[in-house]
A and B are shown apart, each in its own frame.
Chain A
Amino acid sequence: MLKSIFINRYTMTFTVTIVVALLWNLFILFNDSGILSGRVVDRNNQPVADARVVLSEKTLLVTAPRDEVKTDQNGYFRFEGHRLYHLYLEAMKGDARSSSSREVRLYFKGQNKKLKEPLVLGSDR
């Protein structure tokens, strides 16, 4: 009797939903430092040092630049503490060499992410 009241498909569905939601929030809690890292290379796949990488916010309502960093000597860059979920990355060095912007979509605000594909400088020219 007790069993049929507390363990049935309604309570199970409800419990599973709650548990999934809790786990998901736990995952968010530990992964939302807003770290976004990646690499900038040129067309010959050589790392580009000291390139500017601009991060722009893109939502259904706004598009605006939010942050900017420079790459180190191995071409790596790293943003920290952004609170965005839909953004564009653009790398440039000097005036002429600008890569086409890269769209990055995240599952929650400030999700930590490492870009697998490097940004390629001058790829659109």
Chain B
Amino acid sequence: MHRYPHWPFHVTLSTICALMLVPFIWVLKTSLTGENIFTYPPSVLPQDPHLFYYVDVWYTIPFFRYLVNSFLVSLIVVVANIVFNAMAGYALTREFIGKKAIIILFLSCMMIPFQVTIIPAYLITKELGLLNTHLGMALPVMSTIVCIFVFKASFDAVPRSLIDAARIDGLPDWKIIFKVMVPLSQSAIATNIILAFIWSWNNFLWPLVIIRDQHMQTLPLGLSRFLTVVEDTTGALYAFCIMVLIPGLVIFLLAQRQFIAGLTTGAAKG
């Protein structure tokens, strides 16, 4: 391994990274200048950058309203995910009759992509009276099977002796969970928060199906509508893109280790 020079690696990887980054950089540049390809000479660096396209977006559509909607839905999803998945994950560490059946049920649910159940899911949500509500948007994704197994693995890793010791001390179950289990599974919690947030933040099809009310739109819906309403406003459209990308990207960059760990455990688990 060590015999090879490193520079071919760097050249190839830099080229690939440049290709991956070009769309991002170009969008950022256009959002700051509004200039397109046909400003001559085309420049890589933005000329006269300004933030006024962002102001345009903020006032042209009820951006703040969409932002609040997106955040509320994500908040419900994240909180519900942690609580429900941790509970289910804990239950699966215990022995009980029918455990195998439950696990098989969960695993087979994983093979049902949500997209293929979208029509009855819409009808059910309608029956529940949750069309056009935050809860309706959040409900189908309030628990994630991958994360249940992430929690189960994390709880399984807690040494048995520690739990037994706590039990001998007479701690009730819920106290064992909060005093022993939760502190030891911080990384599972972090993974779950990040996965749940990014998934619900980017979710598009489900809100598109159940939201008709203008005031209940989330950012992805607003973005796709913006595209059809104002076609010529290049600068503003890309400013909008940047504004919706930033929260997801920031969270990802802060916590990429947990994010990747979560995705790969999800992918590697049978």
Residues of A within 8 A of B (CB): 9-10, 13, 59-61, 85-86, 105-109
Which 6 A-B pairs have CB atoms at the shortest separation, nearest pair first? A105-B52, A60-B60, A60-B230, A60-B233, A9-B254, A85-B55
Query: Which residues from chain B contact A107 at a C-beta distance below 8 Å?
Result: 51-52, 55
* Given A105-B52, A105-B55, A107-B55, A10:B254 Cβ within 8 A: yes
Query: Which residues from chain A contact B60 at a C-beta distance below 8 Å?
Result: 59-61
B35 within 8 A of A: no
> Secondary structure of the B side of the interface?
helix
A125 to chain B, nearest CB (A): 27
A106 to B51, CA, bound (A): 10
Query: Which residues from chain B contact A109 at a C-beta distance below 8 Å?
Result: 59
Asked if A59 and B255 make an inter-chain contact with CB atoms under 8 angstroms apart, the answer reads: no
When the two chains form the complex, which single residue of A9, A10, A13, A108 contacts B55, counting CB atoms closer than 8 Å?
A108
Query: Which residues from chain A contact B254 at a C-beta distance below 8 Å?
Result: 9-10, 13
A22 to chain B, nearest CB (A): 15
A103 to B230, CA, bound (A): 21
B142 within 8 A of A: no
Query: Which residues from chain B contact A60 at a C-beta distance below 8 Å?
Result: 56, 60, 230, 233, 236
A86 to B50, CA, bound (A): 14
Within 8 A of A (CB), among B58-99: 59-60
A109 to B55, CA, bound (A): 9
B1 within 8 A of A: no
Asked if B51 and A59 make an inter-chain contact with CB atoms under 8 angstroms apart, the answer reads: no
Query: Which residues from chain B contact A106 at a C-beta distance below 8 Å?
Result: 55
Query: Which residues from chain A contact B55 at a C-beta distance below 8 Å?
Result: 85-86, 105-108
Q: Whose C-beta in chain B lies nearest to the C-beta of A109? A: B59
A13 to chain B, nearest CB (A): 6
Query: Which residues from chain B contact A86 at a C-beta distance below 8 Å?
Result: 52, 55-56
A7 to chain B, nearest CB (A): 14
B240 to chain A, nearest CB (A): 11
B165 within 8 A of A: no
Asked if A10 and B250 make an inter-chain contact with CB atoms under 8 angstroms apart, the answer reads: no
A59 to B55, CA, bound (A): 10
Q: Whose C-beta in chain A lies nearest to the C-beta of B57? A: A60
